[in-house]
Chains A and B, each alone.
Chain A
């Protein structure tokens, strides 16, 4: 079983749609959870950072962590063509420890 699983997509949606991206993980000891956006041949850009379970909202983005199910989600409201990118989930065991990444989900938002 992979440590972090993420559907690679591609996920194709019309502009304005609500997008749901998610990851599952096997190690219940993960405590820190992040979502990154990566454009082609660029570095990962931090979108959301959460510690332990719960929800966090920032503009059009909402991150959810359900540690009991070992499942994390990122929701994008009112999606735009500029949101077209690869979305990476990442998590770590302890503060400052290495991040373990998912494979990334390719998102395409059509205008």
Chain B
């Protein structure tokens, strides 16, 4: 069964460092998303991406964050200068486009020290 894959599964970084989280969405999907979940809290929307541009973003997704789809398969989330409060699980998700079903990856756990 096709799935959304994410790398790395866990990354530890120092405050102020740049981090890139990578995702390979399901191959025939057209809509791409990043969500995050701080330990013990709700899953929160960060950004959605369609047709090679951001279609919606939350107030969390400030200038420190950026997304890119550099080729036909990868979808990345970059955090330019990490803060302690960026420590969370980051989930990539994708949707085909003819149904509203959204499929999530297993997540990348980011720990900022």
Contact = CB atoms under 8 A, between A and B. Distances in A.
A87 interface: no
B89 A41 contact: yes
Size class of the contact patch on chain A:
20 to 34
Contacts, number: 58
Interface string B89-108: 10100010101111111110
Contacts of B106: 42-43
B113 interface: no
A100 interface: yes
B107 A43 contact: yes
A25 B5 CA distance: 31
A63 to B, nearest CB: 13
Interface residues of B, number: 29
A90 B101 CA distance: 11
Contact of B99 (A44, A49, A98, A102): A49
B58 A46 contact: no
A96 B91 contact: no
B65 interface: no
Interface in A93-111: 95-104
A62 interface: no
Given A42-B106, A46-B103, A90-B43, 7 more contacts: A43-B106, A45-B104, A98-B45, A98-B48, A98-B56, A101-B44, A102-B42
Closest 5 CB pairs of A and B: A98-B45, A43-B104, A101-B43, A43-B106, A44-B104
Interface of B: 4, 6, 31, 33, 35, 41-45, 48, 50, 55-56, 58, 89, 91, 95, 97, 99-107, 109
Interface of A: 32, 34, 36, 41-46, 49, 51, 88, 90, 92, 95-104
